[in-house]
Amino acid sequence: MRNHRQKTEAEAEYWNKKADNEYCVPDIRNLDTNKDILYIWDDPVIEDIVRGEFRRFIINKALEKKGGDVLEIGCGTGWLSLELARAGMHVKGVDLSEKRIAIAQRYLEQLKKKENIKGDIDYIACPIQEVLFKESVFDLVVCWDSLHHIQNIESIMRKTTQWLKPDGQLIIFEYIGLRFLNKIIIMIIYALPIISKTGLFKKIRSKITNDTSTHKAPFEGITGLEMLRAVKRFLEVKIFKTTLAISYYVAPYVCGNRSLKHKLVRLLKRLDDAITNLHLLRGQYMFLWAIKKAKDC
């Protein structure tokens, strides 16, 4: 049995290795649009159709406290921290992968030479469990696809609550996995003529040839329910919903020229929203907005 430190090191090693592949996005406004579309973020329009509303929700909430202090837990190579800094926030981006933080830092330094970023970012390479902040320092804490990798979630939520200012907020956009029924429906859609089989084939080939992509991260597996329970213990949940029941895995492979493809993806997203809002299928992601409870103030 590995102890906590060994597990943390294994997790860091996994994400450091992944820093060398396609999972690294330091800036969603500067994506390589010439490469094959394997993931939604390989096409900024598709990325925006599928995940834009969640990103905008975060930015709008941050803007309620103009020039406020934001913590991003598990910031990876920093695209969301960067968007928040562009909106004028003072951001702390924490990630346990030194390599990812190095990429984020390098990108930021280069960008500062060409772009006037209103806010600022302080990147910290450290497991969130070990980072030290004073109490009541953040207006907003965000987790984007990172919390389900983090052990001791109750303790992290307790600390998050302490780090938040009295009217502070937490926003989470997290992977919670695909159910069997979603997988069957996705497979059926993959068989339809609107799906590019070449795109799918390329994605499968990239998965097989890329060592680390075929494995789950050592800590992956914190469920949506666990996250929701942990947040509810310390914060008041204002919005909780699951989203993206099918579109996350379907959108990148929709056929057609750019314009047709984007129209079809928009349609797909609307259909997906209706399906998840009516609870016909559970989404692959959860979206949660919570505020600090009055009694914790």
Ligand X SMILES: C[S@@+](CC[C@H](N)C(=O)[O-])C[C@H]1O[C@@H](n2cnc3c(N)ncnc32)[C@H](O)[C@@H]1O
Question: Using CB under 6 A, which of the segments 90-98, 106-114, 161-169, 178-186 binds ligand X?
Answer: 90-98
Task: Provide the mask over 173-212, with x wherever binding to ligand X is found by CB under 6 A and - wherever it is not.
Answer: ----------------------------------------
Decide: 227 and 153 in contact? Cβ < 8 Å: yes
CB 294, min distance to ligand X, A:
29
DSSP state of 141: E
Question: How far is the CA of 251 from the CAs of 39, 165, 181, 229, in angstroms?
Answer: 8, 38, 18, 31
Residue 74 engages ligand X in binding (rule: CB under 6 A): yes
Residue 288 engages ligand X in binding (rule: CB under 6 A): no
Residue closer to ligand X, measured from CB, 125 or 268: 125
CB 95, min distance to ligand X, A:
4
Residue 96 engages ligand X in binding (rule: CB under 6 A): yes
The SS3 of residue 290 is: strand
Residue 43 engages ligand X in binding (rule: CB under 6 A): no
CB 16, min distance to ligand X, A:
8
Decide: 26 and 103 in contact? Cβ < 8 Å: yes
Q: Which helix (H) or strand (E) holds 57?
A: helix 44-63
Q: Which helix (H) or strand (E) holds 248?
A: helix 247-250
Beta strands, E only, 56-145: 69-73, 90-95, 120-125, 138-144
- Cα–Cα distance, 186 to 249 (Å, whole number): 8
CB 73, min distance to ligand X, A:
6
Site residues for ligand X per CB under 6 A? 11, 15, 25, 74-76, 79, 94-97, 100, 127-129, 144-146, 149-150
